[in-house]
Amino acid sequence: CSFFTYVGKGDYAKDPSLAHRTQITRSFDGGRTWEQTPKPLPSPFVADESDGPMLLLDDGSVLIIINGAPPEGGPDQAAVLRTSDRGDSWELLSTLSTDHELLEPTIAQLPDGRLVMMARPEGDIAWSEDGGKTWTNPVTFGLRLYAPSLMVLKDGTLLCLHGSYAAGGLRATFSTDGGQTWIGPATDRGFLVDSAYGYGKAMELPDGSLFITYLSTGGHRTEDAQQNAVRCIRMRVRPDHSGIDLLPAPNQEVPE
């Protein structure tokens, strides 16, 4: 499990203890108990964060992608780190940068073994053919988004859950060519999953449908936390890729 916390505002260079940092905690019993001392990552940034989740590769190693403020200043960059010992130690593989912010990056492995990365806010996308050591230059494809979350379905479809700047809500867009082109109701948005805030994460169920958890929020102020709620929904990408279908929960009957 990866997470970060905001300690306080201030000059991170003068007081590094104020910097927000991505940390790792592990469970070895299916989530019943967790390590009580989180492990920090060897970050190249002055401060960093991660929107998760981590990516398990075929060789058993695990990747995490973070974003953070580079020491030399400028827009946030992304960085990819790897562990080959279940999180005991981590190594920095690469950093990605462009002339604007790369925030809330997400990473997935395509069926051909390549890695693909996407980031907020411009929908930048990049690919790696060597396990994350080097990347193509990040490019945009017209979809401005927040909280992107990539995953590859069993049939090879690349799915991106995201929040939409253009139309709001939690949305889904997908690609059948590894992220070169994307399918949605318009070029600037995906298919609507829910009008709630977003930050969705999905898992594919045995029947090919997706179980998605996401956030409903009343705002970003501290007092708004009283209105926060975690929601769940079940969805399927249509076999012909013409759109999505929202489905009843597995324990509910479909109304006649």
The pLDDT value recorded for residue 254 is 59
> In angstroms, what CA-CA distances link 126 with 14, 69, 70, 183, 187?
34, 20, 19, 18, 18
Q: For residue range 22-31, what is the model confidence (pLDDT) as tens digits?
A: 999 999 999 9
The pLDDT confidence band at residue 59, using thresholds 50, 70 and 90, is very high
The pLDDT confidence band at residue 15, using thresholds 50, 70 and 90, is confident
Q: Is 1-140 in CATH node 2.120.10.10?
A: yes
Angstrom distance (rounded) from CA 86 to CA 90: 9
Angstrom distance (rounded) from CA 100 to CA 87: 31
Angstrom distance (rounded) from CA 89 to CA 85: 7
Closest CA relative to residue 73, chosen from 135, 12, 4, 144: 12
How large is the average pLDDT for residues 111-135?
A: 98
Where exactly does CATH 2.120.10.10 map onto the chain? 1-140
pTM exceeds cut of 0.95 = no
The pLDDT value recorded for residue 167 is 93
The pLDDT confidence band at residue 36, using thresholds 50, 70 and 90, is very high
